[in-house]
């Protein structure tokens, strides 16, 4: 085998990026793109195609386009949802929401635990696939709604953006009320009261009431329903709401939540949804999403 | 006393058409009339089972006498180590003795009643390679529990068919460490082609009432049975079983050798209904929709292999579910 020259630095493959949806862009250190000679692929007067070089020495010296502005299309759906969440957090009185207290009487708690034992006995093996698939974060639940609606981030980016809004605001509000559930103490997980429930997956490190999955999933259902035109809204609402209920109940079957946690989450989702309408950035995003279904 | 007879209704008793007789159902321990709107399938079964004319036959339950009497000890348990070898058997829920359909409850419900009707099949000798010293035999029954390991106290009743031409009504409250044999009720005759109805109602977790009607002969009988352990109502099923010859050990009756499966053609429940009780005491109707199908697998030798002899397939509720011999 002959000696060989430098095979070239493979180059920094660049950060993956978290928001823009950009793929991997390999970047050659030995020839940065801005040092490429500007040229265009054109047909000459004889009809033959060929490169036509620009007088500029490299791409870097071409004049910038100062007319360009940042547009709503440039926002990644996920990051713009953070902006809407910020508006929701500062423009509405969401911390004033009151939730129906969770039951504390021994008989009621025992009855709730019995339901969880029966769910584990009867349904946990069958539900494990969905429980695991919906476990990590709200985007896991989004995937089920997207499958239900047969949409993707490419086909319906604004609708998917609204689901991010639901996921984030659901997370914000659920965590707040888990931490400060009105006059009640932070609620222990069912398996803390009865270890025999042995949850099928890791018990999350936050209190049980209200259920975050119930809050986020039902908020997704309500918001997506709002984005649909009237006729499809009527047809699809039962599917959306049933899916939200199923996602929430899977957390009960897993042994992570009492039924009353789910109820609390659904109540929170409804009250958050009523406040969202007054947030201007949300209303604008909703109009864009509605345009995808026209 | 593990079981007792129930009072006999008078001749002409007709709870379906006579309001006065309907009020007397508890007096005779007969199955209560289900709500037609809430439990339509169970209601239809109740009507068809109890419609006049019926001849009420006194219970004459007698325990099964094992082949060769009661041996001092079982040779050893082989039944539940059956290797499942074929690819098809691995894909399917399979059992060495059960085939049929099991319904599990949801939402925390527990079953308290199950009923079904079917036509008693004519059975013949099965595959020659399955032949043993025991006769070809299968049973068809309804029951509660027995599927989950933690719910192994199972009342059941149904019919039993042998290739020798014997068809009998039987019942049993099975538990793993029981000292009781299954009982036959020969006071009500059953033969292939008869349309039979069975209803099993929980009175208490350790007590059930069993009702049986042969609508081809219009005979009806009932018995109340106590269990050695409480039932849980964790499953309701309609099963065609390859039973085992019981063996009496020093302390318990154990399942011995399985009977070879007879050729039974295809059997289906004409109707099936189960009552679920919700945690707050309400009634919820269950059918065979969403039931699990289990196929029966027999171990064959030379070469050692397993074969599905009773293939259960569900294509709807009730008669849409079928078990085929193959």
- The DSSP annotation for B70-87 comes to --SS-S---GGG----SH
Count of the separate structural domains present in chain A: 1
Supply the range of the domain harboring residue A88: 75-95+103-292
Contact B110 A111 (CB under 8 A): no
The answer to whether position A44 is within a domain reads no
The answer to whether position A126 is within a domain reads yes
Contact A118 B150 (CB under 8 A): no
Neighbours of A62 (CB within 10 A): 11
Two tokens, residue A193: 């009261």
The answer to whether position A108 is within a domain reads yes
Answer whether residue A14 shows pLDDT above 90: no
Contact A121 B110 (CB under 8 A): no
Residue of B nearest to A112 (CA): B279
The answer to whether position A29 is within a domain reads no
The answer to whether position A273 is within a domain reads yes
Residue B178 CA to residue B266 CA, distance in Å, equals 32
Please give, rounded to a whole number of angstroms, the shortest distance from the CA of A262 to a CA of chain B. Answer: 14
Residue A138 CA to residue A219 CA, distance in Å, equals 11
CATH of the domain at A177: 1.20.144.10
The predicted pLDDT at position A284 comes to: 95
Burial class from Cβ neighbours inside 10 Å (0-12, 13-18, 19+) for residue B303 reads exposed
Count of the separate structural domains present in chain B: 1
Mean pLDDT estimate for chain B:
89
Sign of the Cα pseudo-torsion (A169, A175, A179, A185, in order): positive
Strand partners, B294: B100
User: If you count residue pairs, one on A and one on B, with CB atoms under 8 Å apart, how many are there?
Assistant: 21
Residue B18 CA to residue B20 CA, distance in Å, equals 5
- Cβ-based contacts of A118 with chain B (< 8 Å): 105, 108-110, 279
Supply the range of the domain harboring residue B101: 3-325
The answer to whether position A158 is within a domain reads yes
Answer whether residue B248 shows pLDDT above 80: no
What pLDDT digit, counting tens, does each position of A28-48 carry? 777 888 989 999 999 999 999
CATH of the domain at B281: 2.60.120.700
Please give, rounded to a whole number of angstroms, the shortest distance from the CA of B103 to a CA of chain A. Answer: 10
What pLDDT digit, counting tens, does each position of B27-72 carry? 999 999 999 999 999 999 999 999 999 999 999 999 887 765 554 3
- Nearest by CB to A111, from B104, B110, B279: name it: B279
Neighbours of A155 (CB within 10 A): 12
The answer to whether position A288 is within a domain reads yes
Please give, rounded to a whole number of angstroms, the shortest distance from the CA of A274 to a CA of chain B. Answer: 30
Q: Which H or E run contains B174?
A: strand B167-174
DSSP-based helix, strand, coil % in chain B, nearest 5 = 10, 40, 50
> Omega of the bond prior to A243 within 30 degrees of 0, cis?
no
Predicted structure pTM score:
0.77
The predicted pLDDT at position A258 comes to: 98
Contact A122 B150 (CB under 8 A): no
Contact A121 B106 (CB under 8 A): no
Q: Which H or E run contains B310?
A: strand B305-314
Which residues of chain B from 126 to 155 reach within 8 Å of chain A, CB to CB? 148, 150
Burial class from Cβ neighbours inside 10 Å (0-12, 13-18, 19+) for residue B191 reads middle
CA distances A226 to A113, A151, A213, A239, A293, Å, are: 36, 16, 20, 14, 11
């Amino acid at each position: 085998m002959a000696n060989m020259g430098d095979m070239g630095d493979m180059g920094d493959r660049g950060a993956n990026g978290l928001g823009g949806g950009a793929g991997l862009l390999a970047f050659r250190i030995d020839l940065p793109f801005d040092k490429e000679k500007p040229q265009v692929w054109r047909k000459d007067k004889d009809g033959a195609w060929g490169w036509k070089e620009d007088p500029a020495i490299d791409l870097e010296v071409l004049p910038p386009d100062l007319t360009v502005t940042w547009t709503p299309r440039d926002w990644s759906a996920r990051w713009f949802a953070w902006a809407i969440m910020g508006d929701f957090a500062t423009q509405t009185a969401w911390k004033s929401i009151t939730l129906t207290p969770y039951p504390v009487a021994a008989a009621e708690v025992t009855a709730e635990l019995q339901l969880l034992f029966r769910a584990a006995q009867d349904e946990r093996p069958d539900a494990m696939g969905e429980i695991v698939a919906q476990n990590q974060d709200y985007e896991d639940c989004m995937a089920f709604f997207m499958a239900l609606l047969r949409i993707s981030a490419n086909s319906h980016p604004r609708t998917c953006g609204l689901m991010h809004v639901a996921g984030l605001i659901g997370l914000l509000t659920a965590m707040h009320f888990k931490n400060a559930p009105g006059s009640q103490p932070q609620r222990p997980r069912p398996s803390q009261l009865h270890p025999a429930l042995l949850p099928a997956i890791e018990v999350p490190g936050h209190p049980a009431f209200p259920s975050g999955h119930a809050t986020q999933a039902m908020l997704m259902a309500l918001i997506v329903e709002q984005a649909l035109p009237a006729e499809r809204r009527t047809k699809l609402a039962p599917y959306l709401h049933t899916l939200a209920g199923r996602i929430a109940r899977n957390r009960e079957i897993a042994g992570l939540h009492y039924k009353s946690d789910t109820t609390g989450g659904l109540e929170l989702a409804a009250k958050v949804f009523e406040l969202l309408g007054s947030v201007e950035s949300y209303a604008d995003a909703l109009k864009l999403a509605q345009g995808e279904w026209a | 006393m593990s079981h007792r007879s129930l009072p006999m209704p008078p001749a002409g008793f007709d709870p379906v058409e006579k309001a006065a007789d309907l009020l007397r159902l508890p007096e005779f321990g007969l199955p209560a009339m289900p709500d037609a709107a809430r439990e339509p399938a169970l209601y239809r079964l109740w009507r068809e089972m109890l419609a006049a004319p019926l001849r009420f036959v006194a219970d004459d339950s007698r325990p099964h006498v094992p082949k060769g009497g009661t041996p001092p000890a079982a040779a050893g348990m082989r039944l539940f180590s059956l290797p499942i070898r074929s690819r098809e058997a691995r894909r399917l829920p399979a059992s060495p003795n059960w085939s049929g359909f099991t319904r599990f409850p949801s939402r925390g419900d527990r079953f308290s009643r199950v009923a079904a009707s079917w036509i008693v099949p004519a059975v013949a000798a099965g595959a020659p390679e399955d032949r043993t010293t025991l006769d070809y035999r299968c049973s068809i029954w309804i029951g509660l529990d027995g599927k989950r390991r933690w719910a192994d106290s199972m009342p059941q009743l149904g019919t039993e068919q042998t290739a020798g031409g014997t068809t009998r009504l039987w019942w049993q409250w099975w538990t793993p460490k029981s000292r009781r044999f299954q009982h036959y009720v020969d006071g009500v005759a059953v033969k292939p082609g008869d349309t039979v109805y069975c209803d099993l109602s929980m009175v208490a977790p350790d007590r059930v009432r069993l009702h049986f009607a042969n609508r081809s002969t219009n005979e009806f009988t009932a018995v109340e049975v106590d269990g050695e352990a409480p039932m849980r109502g964790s499953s309701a099923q309609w099963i065609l079983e390859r039973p085992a010859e019981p063996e009496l050990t020093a302390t318990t009756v154990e399942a011995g050798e399985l009977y070879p499966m007879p050729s039974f053609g295809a059997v289906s429940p004409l109707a099936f209904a189960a009552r679920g009780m919700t945690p707050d005491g309400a009634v919820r109707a269950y059918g065979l929709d969403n039931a699990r199908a289990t196929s029966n697998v027999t171990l064959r030798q030379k070469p050692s292999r397993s074969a599905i002899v009773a293939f259960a397939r569900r294509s709807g509720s009730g008669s849409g579910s079928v078990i085929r011999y193959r």
